[in-house]
Amino acid sequence: MLIAIDHGNKCVKICDGEAFTAGLLESDVRPFGADVLQYKGKFYQLSDQRIPYHRNKAEDERYFVLTLFAIAREIEATGSYHPGTFTVQLAVGLPPAHYGSQREQFTGFFLNRGPIHFEYRDKRYTVLINEAVCYPQSYAAAITMFQTLKTIPRALILDIGGVTADYIQIKNGGGDMSVSDSLESGVIMMYNKITSRVRAEHDIILSEPEIDAILLGQPVQTPPEVVKLTERLAQEFISDLLSALRERQLELRSGHIVFVGGGSILLRRQIEASGKVANPIFVEDIRANARGYALLYRLGQK
C-alpha cells in the first residue's frame, strides 16, 4: 500500500485523510478521548501545540509517531482497514536545501523496524514499511500541475510552509535543481513576530489559529487595532520574502509564479496586494506535496 506523507513543521498532510497539526502529547496512562494511539507501551494524542522546529526530523521518535498517525488515518480515510499486516511503501519529502544532505537519513528513519504494532482508535495495526522514497518539496507539488507546466518554458514554484519557503524553477515540466533552495522564512517565523509585537504593544496573547482567522478574513473577537497590526505585519512578511527572492535574481514580474503550500493559501491576499508578482497562480490544495510524492512514486514504477 502506497502512503504519501508531507511531514510539515506546522501540519502533517496525507492524500485522503485530513491534515493535522504536527503536535504530540505523550502519556504513560490512557488519556480521555477516542483519538488515541498506543505504541510501545505509551499513549499519544495529537495536539494543537506543534513540535518546536527541528531541522532534522529524524533526531527523535516524535515524527515517527506522527507518521503512524498519518498511516492509520490514511488507511481509515480510504476504507482499507483489515486486521492483517499492511505492507507500506512510504513516499515522503524534504525541502530542496535539505534534500541532498538528509535524504538518506530521512528514508532510513522509517526502515528496518520490522513489523510495527500499534493501536489507534481501538483498532490494532501491524505495519511493515518495506520501502521509503524521498522527493524534493515544491517540485512534488508542481508535478500535480504537470499538464499545465509542461508547455511553459519557465515557471517558478514557491512553496511557503511552516519554517521554510522553498522554491524551484521548472522548465517545460522538468525541475531545475540548480535554481532551487529553501529560505527559513515560513509562516512560523511570521507567527512569532506577530505574537511578540501584539503582546508588547497591546498586552494580548494571540494564538496561531487566531492569526490564521484574521488573515483569512474570518470573524474574530479581537480588537480592531490588533487585527490591523496583524495584517500589516503579515504584509511586511510577504514583502520581505519576495524581496529576498528578487535579491537571488529570481524574476517575479514576468513568467509564471506558482504558489503552493498552506502558507501561500493563508497569505494569498498579501501576495496579491504586494505588487511584486505580476501573475500569481495559486494551488489551493494543501495536500499538493503529498499527492505529488505519490504521483512521482508511481511514475518511478513504470
Cell output for 152: 511553459
Q: Is residue 52 part of a domain?
A: yes
* Residue 69 covered by a domain: yes
Note whether 205 and 100 are same-domain residues.
Answer: no
CATH number of the domain residue 28 falls in: 3.30.420.40
Note whether 296 and 276 are same-domain residues: no
Do 297 and 271 fall within a single domain? no
* pLDDT tens digits for range 259-278: 998 999 999 999 999 999 98
Domain membership of residue 263 as a residue range: 148-284
Residue 143 belongs to some domain of the structure: no
Residues 230, 269, single domain; the answer is yes
Q: Are residues 91 and 193 in the same domain?
A: no
Any domain includes 35: yes
pLDDT at residue number 298: 95
Q: Is residue 125 part of a domain?
A: yes
Give the distance from CA 145 to its chain's centroid: 18
Q: Could you tell me if residue 187 is inside a domain?
A: yes
Q: Cα–Cα distance between 225 and 259 in angstroms, integer? A: 29
Average pLDDT of the residues of the chain:
93
Is residue 112 in some structural domain? yes
Per-residue pLDDT tens over the stretch 11-35: 999 999 999 999 999 999 999 888 9
**Nearest one of 166, 161, 169 to 183, comparing CA atoms:** 166
Amino acid making up residue 99? Y
Residues 134 and 58 in one domain: yes
126 and 241 in a single domain? The answer is no
CA distances, 85 to each of 36, 89, 90, 132 (Å): 20, 13, 15, 17
For residues 269 and 205, membership in a common domain is answered with yes
* DSSP-derived pairing of the beta strands 174-183 and 165-171: antiparallel
Q: Are residues 15 and 103 in the same domain?
A: yes
Q: What is the pLDDT averaged over residues 219-229?
A: 95
Residues 6+ apart with CB under 8 A from 126: 84, 85, 86, 115, 116, 117
Statement to judge: residues 57 and 17 lie in one domain: yes
Which residue type sits at 41?
G
Q: What would the pLDDT profile of 58-111 be if each residue is shown by its tens digit? A: 999 999 999 999 999 999 999 999 999 999 999 999 988 888 899 999 999 999
Q: Are residues 44 and 171 in the same domain?
A: no
Please say whether the dihedral angle defined by the alpha carbons of residues 25, 31, 37 and 41, taken in this order, is positive or negative.
Answer: positive
Q: H-type helices in the chain, by residue range? A: 62-77, 96-110, 139-143, 146-149, 187-202, 208-215, 224-247, 262-266, 268-273, 288-301
Q: Are residues 180 and 235 in the same domain?
A: yes
Split into its structural domains, the chain has a count of: 2
Mean pLDDT of 122-150: 90
